Chain A
Amino acid sequence: MLKPKGLLFDVTLCIGCGACYDGCKQKNNLPKTNQNFLSDHLSANTFTVVEQYGNNYARKLCMHCDEPSCVSVCPVGAFSKSKTGAVLYDGNKCIGCRYCMQACPHKVPRYEWGKTQPRVRKCNMCDDRIKDGKITACAEACPTEATLYGDMDKLIEIAKKRIKENKRNYYPHIYGLHEAGGSHVLILSPVPFEQLGYTPNLPKEPMPMLTMRAMEKIPPVVGVGGIFLGGMYWLTKRKNQIAKEENESIKDLEKHEN
């Protein structure tokens, strides 16, 4: 059995060389989208970027959430969570409603707006490579181990150790461990994460729970609603009938009196 895998990205180790960016493009056969990789942004042809914030470089890519919004909202189940933890997309199922793009708390999925048969595009954690026993292309390309690929439990251990042993260099938080219910991409940083453009204030609770709480009410609404409506029909009908019968008896009485 495959153990849950993930990526650990450490801002303090990143030198902003763009090797992950190039590695990802190559692995996924993506065309060049920008002269300068540092000013590129996620798009249908770019699954990961390296952004510069002063002396710090921050990678952006799909977080591969534990309970992904994209999986939960897709009406046709085009997204799925694989055993390794990667969140995968099946373009053959997709109807193109773009709810996944709207719902993702990290604003990751991108669309092929220019095509007549567009797909949603995003990082798939190099699922094919992993199934072949390799590591992700970006982790392989990284010269400094700023991007580490491995078993989730090991990565969490490493992250905790780094923060503990080097309190001065790290902001004491592992981004992604609990954000939006936790994810398979973990990030370490020397500064608060919103300064590096990571979505702040995400709830610890998985986002799909927000929808679940409403969806849960559907069966009782249908059950109680159905009984209520049926009951009301019966009641009001009877009431009308009784009123009618009473009227008829009045009529009869009147007839007799005449």
Chain B
Amino acid sequence: MKTDTLLKFTFWRVIAVVIIVAGIVSTYYRFTKGLGATTNLSDAVPWGFWIGFDFLGVGLAAAGFTIAATVHIFNIHRFEPIVRPAILTAFIGYSLVIGLLVVDLGRPENFWHPLVMWNIHSVMFEITWCIICYTTVLILEFAPVVLEKFNLKAPVKLLKKISIPIVIAGVLFSTLHQSSFGSLYLIVPGRLHQLWYSSLLPVHFYISCIAAGLSMIIFESYLNTRAFNTGLRLKILSKLSVVVVIVLVVEFLLKITDLLLSGKFNYLVTSSMETSLFYLEIIVGTIMPVIILGSKKNRENKSWLFIASVCVICGFILNRMNVSITGMVSSSGVNYFPSFDEISITFMLVVFAMIAFRLVVQYFPVFTYSEEKVIEENGIAETKKLITGE
């Protein structure tokens, strides 16, 4: 047994090292040889895998603001135990995205220009600012965890005092830029395939990121229980999955109505690569998880919860990749597939993110709540205690 786990550990370590080394080499080439030599981007495909990946990083980190709002604004303290993991996920996700954006920019040394050169009509400008502000919010939201560890009480007190405005600001910034990622494509009606182009793109992006972000929490909790055995209570996750189902159904209905009302029914019945991908996205990302999570028994089963969350995440990934890459193919007339360097730099950043997550979880109290403590924190349990006068 022991050697088995040891082997497994070293196996993953070796893979991680290989990915990182490849990534560093690619990064070096990217900065010394330029984008043309290292990516498959071109005048016909100015945005590729990296932009698509940015959508994923930001979208999957959406639980950061949804959970914070649920607990601190709507005062549903049942979900308190997952606030910290959600915020940590979001922070790491955003750091990854910022890192990737800098690699993607043609002039990375000018990355600070949006701070001083303003064009308030640009969606990209708005997104840049929201990402900067929201990352700051995330730092402030996570800071108490770090400060507590080092026993610094005064700043924690201060942060607690302003915590509600911080959470509200975080929710607003998130709402804006999550939806604005969709707004980016509003100006390209002739380029993005009609199955994805919609004047409601920002709304679709917003709603779908909530389902994906929450599923990400379920996904992580599952993996984390296995790795550290300090995981979360199944009950919370199964409640969370109910929310996921509701959000998925709402998004599904909205999407279908939108398609039918804008007279795009014919795209649903023609056979093309886009139509197949569209169906794949809906089946994997919406229909399968709704069927799985529709049954209460499955919701209370760890493995089914996990499988459903994987479905939602895959569907979300498909959707964002379809908007950013496949939905653009037919109008650009060029078949784009990311180059080795594009992929290896991205993977390197993902490995960094995973290592960072593990390290933080290991050294800071992120998954803190054991079973009993959760009950204590749980409003109902507290009430019971009071009633019985214990």
- A residues with a Cβ closer than 8 A to B are 42-43, 69, 72-78, 93-99, 101-103, 105, 107, 110-111, 113-118, 199, 201-203, 207-208, 210-215, 218, 221-222, 225-226, 229-230, 232-233, 236-237, 239-240, 243-244, 247-248, 250-251, 254-255
Contacts and interface: CB of A to CB of B under 8 A. Distances in A.
A72 B46 contact: no
A200 to B, nearest CB: 9
In this complex, the member of B35, B74, B118, B189 whose beta carbon has the largest number of chain A beta carbons within 10 angstroms is B35
Given A215-B183, A230-B168, A74 B122 contact: yes
A116 B106 CA distance: 8
Interface in B78-122: 104-108, 110-111, 113-114, 117-119, 121-122
Contact of B42 (A113, A215, A225, A230): A113
A212 B34 contact: no
B186 interface: yes
B387 interface: yes
Contacts of B164: 233
B125 A218 contact: no
Dominant SS at the A interface?
helix
Determine chain B's interface SS by DSSP, over half rule.
helix
A206 B117 CA distance: 24
A99 B379 contact: no
A244 B175 CA distance: 33
B204 interface: no
A69 B187 contact: yes
B106 A111 contact: yes
A118 B43 contact: no
Interface of B: 31-37, 41-44, 46-47, 69, 72-76, 104-108, 110-111, 113-114, 117-119, 121-126, 128, 164, 168, 171-172, 175-176, 179-180, 183-184, 186-191, 199, 202, 379, 383, 386-387, 389
B181 to A, nearest CB: 11
Nearest to B179: A214
Nearest to A255: B389
Contacts of B172: 221-222, 225-226, 229
A221 B175 contact: yes
Nearest to B182: A214
Nearest to B42: A113
Given A43-B43, A72-B122, A97-B124, 11 more contacts: A76-B125, A77-B118, A77-B119, A110-B43, A113-B42, A113-B43, A114-B36, A199-B190, A233-B73, A233-B75, A251-B387
Contacts of B107: 94-96, 117-118
Contact of B124 (A99, A208, A212): A99
A214 B119 contact: no
B124 A113 contact: no
Nearest to B186: A210
Nearest to B386: A247
B41 A76 contact: no
B69 to A, nearest CB: 7
A66 to B, nearest CB: 15
A180 B34 CA distance: 33
B39 to A, nearest CB: 8
A183 B379 CA distance: 63
A201 B126 contact: no
Contact of A76 (B69, B117, B123): B117
A62 B57 CA distance: 35
Contact of A116 (B33, B114, B118, B119): B33
A215 B121 CA distance: 8
B106 A211 contact: no
Contact of A101 (B46, B124, B171): B46
Nearest to B120: A215
Sorted nearest first, the 8 A-B pairs with minimum C-beta distance are A96-B106, A113-B36, A236-B75, A75-B125, A75-B124, A101-B46, A77-B119, A98-B46
Contacts of A69: 187
Given A113-B41, A232-B73, A207 B110 contact: no
Contacts of A226: 168, 172
A113 B114 CA distance: 22
B34 A114 contact: yes
A215 B179 CA distance: 10
A18 B107 CA distance: 34
Contacts of A212: 121
Given A95-B114, A114-B36, A75 B386 contact: no
A2 B122 CA distance: 28
A115 B106 CA distance: 9
B342 to A, nearest CB: 13
Contacts of B121: 72, 208, 211-212, 215
B282 to A, nearest CB: 24
Contacts of B171: 225, 229
Nearest to B115: A76
B164 to A, nearest CB: 6
A248 to B, nearest CB: 7
